[in-house]
Amino acid sequence: MPRSAIVDTSVLVSAFLFPDSVPGRVVALADQGIYALHFSPIILEELRRSLSNPRLRNAYSYSDEQIDAWCAELHEIGSLVLRPLPDTGGVCRDPDDDHVIAAALAVKADAIVTGDKDLLDLGAYQDIRMLSARAFLDECTWGKLGIRVKFCHYGSSTEIGSGLGWSAGGRSSISKV
């Protein structure tokens, strides 16, 4: 089970738009302390830029205040990589994705959680695995440690694997099976 991960922009945008989705549950696991979530200043900038896109805003109707609150919550849940990023020397097919790998190297992350095809096709770099949000969620919740995660959502609770989510209003519990 990964101990720490860089979560990239595509996953964070999806988690914001769809808190009950797999990406939303990935962020919820960090909130529960299952793993350490990290993001770089570039990822945070991309997140703000993506969420500020007029097409996205019109389709999902959210405010600047909601974007600000989401970014503030990410700072509470995870950590911003402030140390200098190492030069990766063009590892990824898309050079714009090299900063994600560099951030993972800087924090010695076990995984990069991404929806980016170029990163996923890479599979791994050094000891860092590239995982989809679904693969990461599966590893964290049904991994070798037998952890069961219980999510609270709008006053009700369900166990993972049955179409659940998380909300800022409720916290989740973890139990060993």
Region 3-29: mean pLDDT is 95
The C-alpha atoms of residue 171 and residue 28 are separated, in whole angstroms, by 9
Q: Would you place residue 87 in the very low, low, confident or very high pLDDT band (cuts 50, 70, 90)?
A: confident
pLDDT, tens only, 114-131: 999 999 998 998 999 999
Residue appearing with tokens 């919740």? 141
Q: Are strands 128-131 and 79-80 parallel, antiparallel or unpaired?
A: unpaired
The C-alpha atoms of residue 137 and residue 44 are separated, in whole angstroms, by 22
Q: Are strands 4-7 and 79-80 parallel, antiparallel or unpaired?
A: unpaired
Q: Which of 133, 102, 106, 113 is nearest to 37 (CA)?
A: 113
Identify whether the C-beta of residue 146 lies closer than 8 Å to the C-beta of residue 177.
yes
Q: What is the pTM of this model?
A: 0.78
Identify whether the C-beta of residue 37 lies closer than 8 Å to the C-beta of residue 112.
no
Amino acid at 119: L
Tokens of 157: 């609770």
Q: What is the pLDDT of residue 70?
A: 94
Q: Is the pLDDT of residue 46 over 90?
A: yes
Q: Is the pLDDT of residue 12 over 50?
A: yes
Q: What is the pLDDT of residue 143?
A: 58
The C-alpha atoms of residue 52 and residue 113 are separated, in whole angstroms, by 22
Q: Running DSSP on this structure, what letter comes out for residue 35?
A: S
Q: Is the pLDDT of residue 161 over 60?
A: no
Tokens of 126: 């050094």
Region 134-163: mean pLDDT is 57
Taken in order of first residue, the domains within the chain and their CATH numbers are: 4-144 (3.40.50.1010)
Q: Is the pLDDT of residue 155 over 60?
A: no
Q: Running DSSP on this structure, what letter comes out for residue 174?
A: E
